[in-house]
Amino acid sequence: LRAQADAVIVGSGTARADDPHLGARIAGLADAKVSQPLRVVIDTAAAVVKPGARVLDGTAPTLIAVAEDADAGHLEGLAPIVRLPRTAAGTGLHIPALLDALYARDVRSVLLEGGPTLAGSFLAAHAVDKVVGYLAPVLLGAGPAALGDAGIGTIDQALRLDVTATDRLGPDLRITAVPARHALNEEN
């Protein structure tokens, strides 16, 4: 999925917890030239990305998105920075502005690999056109949420999805879905 996207995006929570690399790696093709996506870290307060972070290793281009009012002096020279407006609530970045900035950099497809906050913010901004989920035959009990606040409070407001593909990957199941047509028509 990473190799198919122009950019891979994570939020500050995922960057802090996982120190992700975000590069495309294809099993069995270690020596092959794999197209590397732009690695984008949304670090609103410019407080998470530090020298030595794996996304700064130079194997793929990286962009750090910060708020217009963030003190990002310590990031100068580490990677290109884009300054963006905050959301109306002031807690994150304005997603349409981020997408505009990426579009200006010739990014036409993005893969969200962040956690529930990032997924919720993109869903709330109506900026999701495909969902790829994985189901493993493993029970873990309580765990982290897959989706944060997306502005959906009732079942009537729920974004309905149409399943377009199901694929077995070993014991796992990959489910691909798109927003249901009637949901898209209601928004437009």
The enclosing domain of 14 has a CATH number of 3.40.430.10
Domain annotation covers residue 58: yes
Residues 6 or more apart whose CB falls under 8 angstroms from that of 3 comprise: 24, 26, 34, 35, 36, 37
**Which pLDDT score is estimated for 154?**
84
Domain holding 163, by residue range, is 7-187
Most trustworthy range by pLDDT among 72-76, 123-127, 156-160, 167-171: 167-171
Domain annotation covers residue 37: yes
Domain annotation covers residue 125: yes
Domain annotation covers residue 108: yes
Percent of the residues in the chain that have a pLDDT greater than 90, as a whole number: 56
| pLDDT higher than 90, residue 93 | yes
Mean of pLDDT over the chain: 88
Domain annotation covers residue 76: yes
102 and 40 in contact (C-beta within 8 Å)? yes
84 and 93 in contact (C-beta within 8 Å)? yes
The gap from C-alpha 71 to its chain's centroid, in whole angstroms, comes to 23
Domain annotation covers residue 24: yes
- The number of distinct structural domains making up the chain is 1
This prediction's pTM? 0.85
Compute the Cα dihedral for 83, 18, 23, 125 and give only its sign: negative
Which residue shows structure tokens 């530090």?
50
Q: How far is CA 2 from CA 106, 151, 158, in A?
A: 16, 28, 28
**Which pLDDT score is estimated for 102?**
98
**Which pLDDT score is estimated for 30?**
57
Question: For helices 116-124 and 95-104, what crossing angle results, to 10°?
Answer: 90
What would the two tokens of residue 181 be?
A: 């047509």
What would the two tokens of residue 157 be?
A: 């407001």
Domain annotation covers residue 2: no
Domain annotation covers residue 26: yes
